[in-house]
Amino acid sequence: MDTYKRIADVLRKDNKRLRDALSALKAAIPDATAQQKPLMLSLIETALAPTPVPPELISVDELNISTRLSNCLYNADLHTVGDIIAKSECDMRRYRNFGNRSLIELRAVLASMGLSLAKPERAK
């Protein structure tokens, strides 16, 4: 069977997951010509490569933080890094039990990700 027909057959099956389709594509590589093989391998590697998650979408649960800081953020209804970086230091200090230690720890965690809290808005 022709390589392209195999690929088309795999892609037509709606219930197949992407990895299954790529595995079948990889199986078709031995039949491919010398010019087709690098392109096919490149497509497979690109499709299987993990997509990086933007830091703003990372859950607070995934951060390596103390239980106290985690509880403060949960009680403040801040569930993602994006929620946190939208707040200023003044905003964070307004939350119950959020003091200097929590702020120092939070700054360090955000700095390790290359992020920081929002700058306070100045009154006009």
Could you tell me which of 55, 66, 73 has the C-alpha nearest to residue 115? 55
Can you read off the two tokens belonging to residue 11? Answer: 């892609």
Q: What pLDDT sits at residue 84?
A: 95
Q: What pLDDT sits at residue 50?
A: 64
Q: What pLDDT sits at residue 15?
A: 43
Give the alpha-carbon dihedral of 79, 94, 116, 124, to 10 degrees. 130
Domain boundaries of the chain, sorted by first residue: 3-48, 55-112
Tell me how far apart the alpha carbons of residues 79 and 75 are, in angstroms, rounded to a whole number: 10
| CATH classification for the domain delimited by 55-112, as one of 3.30.750.200, 1.10.10.10, 3.20.20.70, 1.10.150.20 | 1.10.150.20
Average pLDDT over every residue of 61-84: 93
* Backbone dihedral region for residue 64 (phi beyond 0: left; psi -120 to 50: alpha; all else: beta): beta
Q: What pLDDT sits at residue 62?
A: 87
pTM: 0.58
The rounded mean pLDDT for the chain is 78
